[in-house]
Structure 1
Amino acid sequence: MHSPDPLDVLVTGVGAVSCLGLGTDELWAGLKAADSRPTPVPGLIERIPDALAYQVTGVGSWSADATERQARATEFALHAAREAVADAGLTDVEIEDMAVVIGTAGGATGERDVDLGRDTGSSRAGDWSPMFAVSSVVSGEFGAFGTNLSVSNACAASGYALTMAMGMVRRGEADTVLVGGADALGTVPLSSFSRLGANDPKVCRPFDENRRGTVFGEGAAMLVVQSARTAGGRRRYGRLRGSAWSCDAYHPTAPDPAGEQLVRVAREALREARIAPEDIGLVIPHGTGTEQNDGLESRVLREVLEEHLDTVPLFSLKAFTGHSAGAAAAFAAVCAALIARHGEAPANVPLEQQDTGCDVWLPQNGPTSVPGVNTLINAYGFGGSNFSMVFEGEAL
């Protein structure tokens, strides 16, 4: 086990709500089963043939009518947060002083995600209450009076939240931080991606030769991170070892094909973690299933990890859960923690045919042993927001 360091940011609790079920046990079982598929989105599939998504059941209910939809992202976050706090065994004093940092791309925008040309009779007309109140609602639920931050920079949001949480702990601004991401489906992103031709009409299949775009998912993933002093003798999943941000400043939606900033952010995360490329034992890529992302990310990983990439397995998470937007990086971090706890990465969802332009290793015939491994996590967002992090798991 790693000897405590004053700068350690230790993960002592995790929680999740996903299409695979309510809780991390259900998430892990679903990853092991590798049989999740997207389903038609009611109210949209009739008008948009590729309106599919990896949908959460058992928490709230989806409806294309905004008058029936009540901030599902917040509901997801609350469920995942309760699990993470219980998993960490936080005391009342720790909860009271706890900081909360949550990333979300859409927040509660789904509540007002309506056809403005149609009179719905909604009492929400003219409602200008905050759309990004997920973190404040979660803090209120627990009675947490620490720093409260809501981060919303597209699909890198929860990655930036994780980096903020790391910094707060390392600077002594907080001993305990509840950090993660949450997002729910909305008609606007689903419809817009369809218009862009960026929806896959079948499944989310990153790195597959026949991929045609991404498929959205929804849910929440939360982690309790603590300083070494506060974590004490608690059971822990590992530590957040290094992270970094960068920005392409290239295009509102498309990544810079040169990939320079993606290389930069990954190398900076490794530098902060004080490890070399050969120390990375697993990668959880951004891997959205779009042609541009997967090919570019594969080339970036080759440049960063060099020949070591040949022996580093990738775990393609979005093939199981879809693209959970602002929650994506937090889901990757929770999965890294679960993989560390179990000492193995589940087999990837089988590909029909791997794209020859994606020169990466995606084990598909059984779990891969990865005890105590350093995992590189990537998340990229519209506007050129890039995030990479190194999570160091602890073998039991």
Structure 2
Amino acid sequence: MSRIVVTGIGIITALGDTAEENRSALQQGKTGIGRARFFESRYTKTLPLAEINISTEALAEKLHIDPLAATRTDLLALHSARQAIADAQWSNETLQSSKTALIGASTVGGMCLTDEMYADANATSSNGSGYLQSYSNSANTSFLQQQFNVKGIVNTFNTACSSSANAIMYGARLIRNGMADRAIVGGVDSLSKYTVNGFNALMILSDQLCRPFDVERKGLNLGEGAAFLILEKEEGALEKNKYAVVAGYGNSNDAFHPSSTSAEGEGPYLSMKRALDSARLQPGNIDFINAHGTATENNDETESVAMQRLFETVPEFASTKSYTGHTLGAAGAVEAVYSILSLQHQEVYPSLHFEKEIETTKLTPVVSYNKRDLSHIMSNSFGFGGNCTSLIFSKV
């Protein structure tokens, strides 16, 4: 069976608008979390946020898009998808082939315009709101489909924080089962009052920089971003640059609580085990784990428990959410890009702000940048509702 390889990557986060800028910040241990400049909320003065350093209007101008014709979510998705497609050197013929799939992911979608839709609907109640069409989480995928004239399979995932990891898994499965020859896969989310207010109501937002896997962790910091990968059959990409192999993937559902995983970490454990089985690897083959690592009380402890259940000796691990904040539906794809950069450059990026391990698990994440031999990296993404997905990327 032909291997599935990554031939293009595109990304924009609070760390930068290219893969190179993101990697540089990761190497330097430079977080993108701070005070928001463009996002308007009553909480911007009290809550750290990982905002991308460009206004929606300026981003639209940079991308040559009418700012009235796209949401911030649409624009972030377009920026990163264009990068990935250019990186893979696809022609328009390839892009518009019926065998090219587009699989997106988002949790916010057009909800970044909730206030505008509400005001518009009340002002023009007889005709409804013009913002309604852009409100769904799938609107940004439809926007990309129209921009690129994609004629193959198009789908959108909304499984909370595992959304874009599931998009990557689904794209790989489409190729593996002969339903597509290649796929654009990834996800996007922008900062939104809807999510900031919602997470704040759950009392899991930290008023300090987040500290994944630290005993004194207080919660997560929200961020925004987008990342897309180009997946192709290896046999069809022989002359191309190949970043990594999508070696395995696994999904499960903890089915324990709407916003928490069980104390035993059953969902995370099963998703990691199924990813290993899919890749035909043993636990000892994993060299590094890009952990979900939200810095919430529940996630970090249950993810640690799950890793200890699966691995006789837990591999080195870290959480890059201490750099980008939690980018929600984009997180799986953003962290997939970081895992691929680790493989490509044989380096691991540390967790930031860690001081002392959780007393019940006593696991310490990587806390300093270092070079090392890497063959297989696991990337974890766990969503509300218990939807857990693990991806394994391997050296070409």
Give the alignment's TM-score, normalised by structure 2.
0.89
1:264 corresponds to: 270
Which region of structure 1 is more displaced relative to structure 2, 321-330 or 230-239?
230-239
In the alignment, the residues of structure 1 paired with residue 386 and residue 113 of structure 2 have an alpha-carbon distance, to the nearest angstrom, of 27
1:52 corresponds to: 48
1:374 aligned residue (373, 376, 379): 376
Which region of structure 1 is more displaced relative to structure 2, 177-186 or 124-133?
124-133
- The 5-angstrom pairing of residues 312-331 of structure 1 reads 312-331=315-334
- The 5-angstrom pairing of residues 230-245 of structure 1 reads 230-245=236-251
Pairwise CA distance, 1:319 = 0.6
- The 5-angstrom pairing of residues 296-315 of structure 1 reads 296-307=302-313, 309=314, 312-315=315-318
SS in 2 for 1:90: coil
SS in 2 for 1:93: helix
Identical amino acids, percent of aligned pairs: 27
Residue 360 (structure 1) aligned with residue 363 (structure 2) = yes
SS in 2 for 1:329: helix
Question: RMSD over aligned Cα, in angstroms?
Answer: 2.5
In the alignment, the residues of structure 1 paired with residue 220 and residue 284 of structure 2 have an alpha-carbon distance, to the nearest angstrom, of 31
Question: What amino acid does structure 2 have at the position aligned with 1:216?
Answer: L
In the alignment, the residues of structure 2 paired with residue 205 and residue 52 of structure 1 have an alpha-carbon distance, to the nearest angstrom, of 13
Pairwise CA distance, 1:61 = 5.6
Which region of structure 1 is more displaced relative to structure 2, 347-356 or 333-342?
347-356
Pairwise CA distance, 1:116 = 5.0
SS in 2 for 1:110: helix
1:103 aligned residue (105, 121, 130): 105
In the superposition, relative to structure 1, how do residues 153 and 293 fare at CA in structure 2: closer, same or farther (>3 Å)? same
Pairwise CA distance, 1:39 = 2.7
Question: What amino acid does structure 2 have at the position aligned with 1:369?
Answer: R
Pairwise CA distance, 1:144 = 2.0
Is the 1:346–1:368 contact (alpha carbons within 8 Å) kept by the matching residues of 2?
no
Residue 179 (structure 1) aligned with residue 173 (structure 2) = no
Is the 1:314–1:360 contact (alpha carbons within 8 Å) kept by the matching residues of 2?
no
Residue 18 (structure 1) aligned with residue 24 (structure 2) = no
1:194 aligned residue (184, 188, 200): 200
SS in 2 for 1:208: coil
Is the 1:70–1:111 contact (alpha carbons within 8 Å) kept by the matching residues of 2?
no
1:129 aligned residue (127, 130, 133): 133
Pairwise CA distance, 1:89 = 1.2
Is the 2:27–2:349 contact (alpha carbons within 8 Å) kept by the matching residues of 1?
yes
Pairwise CA distance, 1:36 = 1.6
In the superposition, relative to structure 1, how do residues 133 and 47 fare at CA in structure 2: closer, same or farther (>3 Å)? closer
1:335 corresponds to: 338
Is the 1:50–1:200 contact (alpha carbons within 8 Å) kept by the matching residues of 2?
no
1:94 corresponds to: 94
Is the 2:101–2:183 contact (alpha carbons within 8 Å) kept by the matching residues of 1?
yes
Is the 2:349–2:368 contact (alpha carbons within 8 Å) kept by the matching residues of 1?
no
Where structure 2 has 5 or more consecutive residues not aligned to the other structure, the ranges are: 59-66
SS in 2 for 1:378: strand
Is the 1:377–1:388 contact (alpha carbons within 8 Å) kept by the matching residues of 2?
yes
Pairwise CA distance, 1:120 = 8.2
- The number of equivalent residue pairs is 381
Pairwise CA distance, 1:101 = 0.3
2:153 corresponds to: 147
In the alignment, the residues of structure 2 paired with residue 290 and residue 326 of structure 1 have an alpha-carbon distance, to the nearest angstrom, of 17
Where structure 1 has 5 or more consecutive residues not aligned to the other structure, the ranges are: 1-5
In the alignment, the residues of structure 2 paired with residue 81 and residue 168 of structure 1 have an alpha-carbon distance, to the nearest angstrom, of 19
In the alignment, the residues of structure 2 paired with residue 148 and residue 200 of structure 1 have an alpha-carbon distance, to the nearest angstrom, of 36
Is the 2:357–2:364 contact (alpha carbons within 8 Å) kept by the matching residues of 1?
no
